[in-house]
Chains A and B, each alone.
Chain A
Amino acid sequence: MNLDFAIDILLLGFMAVIAIAVVRMRDLFGIAMLFSLFSLLSAGVFTVMDAADVAFTEASVGAGISTILILATLTRTVREEKPRKSRNPTVPLVVVFVTGALLIFGTSDLPRLGDPTAPIHTHVAPRYIQDSAREIGIPNIVTSVLASYRGYDTLGETTVIFTAGVVVMALLGVRRRRKRKDDEEAPG
């Protein structure tokens, strides 16, 4: 049992505890904080699994921007969840259980974790890993695949971010707030 495995199990165990706590908690500010912690722990899991770019992005986007937006939403809406009246709790549990069982049955055929001869590692990836240094010449393979080999997808992703900005501006509106002249701010 090496250290990678132990850290991996520890972090995933913490994430499971946080997920169950989010289900049971009613205070929405607490849920926002737990959500931020969930994102940070998942960034840790990504680092242990050698995905440095992904961990970077998940930590900054999930634990940063997403948490800020949820907190900003909570200041404009309610702070506590109201208890659900007269709803049968067993139907969602059964649905979730059946879906989970089907998914675990479906993933039981996957190759062992980290198997170098798995199909995912032998089809397209070796060409990128071997030819990226010669054709593009930058050390970071993820950046070369993202920006050059799969550049169309990144163009679409940038357009999606821009569209989300446009939609939020259309829904909420950004108006320039000016300081009122009779509002004297005490310096420093």
Chain B
Amino acid sequence: MTFLNLYNYEIAIFLAMVGFYVVVSRGNLVKKVAGLSMFQTSVFILYISMGVVTGGTVPIIVEAGAIYSNPLPHVLILTAIVVGVATTAVALSLIIRIKEAYGTVEEDEIHEQDESF
């Protein structure tokens, strides 16, 4: 019965593992970046699920003494979302430069061209 109480965590872990699989097993760099971003989003779901309070509401004070959800995970994930998009942008710009330098964005072909890896 405990597994049904933690369904959010389990589905979030499943989504994270699918994103992890995309990063590890596919060779296209753009697809890897998309998988990594999906991994990040599912980790956010994991954190926000920890901050839920049953019977609580959005943490905006409307009357004293009401139950509010925990605002601390919200603040942490707000920062994490914006930092995530910043790193995704840097990764995508690197992919554009890699395409211009090697002519391909497939990992195998880049390894063949550059034997120093």
Contact = CB atoms under 8 A, between A and B. Distances in A.
Touch test A–B (CB under 8 Å): yes
Interface of A: 8-9, 12-13, 15-16, 19-20, 22-23, 28, 31-32, 35, 38-39, 42, 45-46, 49-54, 57-58, 61-62, 65-66, 69-70, 72-74, 76-78, 81-82, 84-85, 87, 89, 92-93, 95-97, 99-100, 103-104, 107-108, 110, 112-116, 118, 120-121, 124-125, 128-129, 132-133, 139-142, 145-146, 150, 153-154, 157, 160-161, 163-164, 167-168, 171-172
B45 to A, nearest CB: 6
Contacts of A54: 44, 48, 74, 77-78, 81
A92 B21 contact: yes
Contacts of A164: 86-87, 89-90
A160 B83 CA distance: 7
A39 B39 CA distance: 11
Interface residues of B, number: 84
B55 to A, nearest CB: 8
Contacts, number: 269
Q: Which of B22, B27, B75 has the most CB of A within 10 A?
A: B75
Contacts of A49: 8, 48-49, 51-52, 69
Nearest to B107: A84
Interface of B: 2-3, 5-22, 24-28, 30-31, 33-35, 37-38, 41-42, 44-45, 48-62, 64, 67-75, 77-79, 81-83, 85-90, 92-97, 99, 104-106, 108
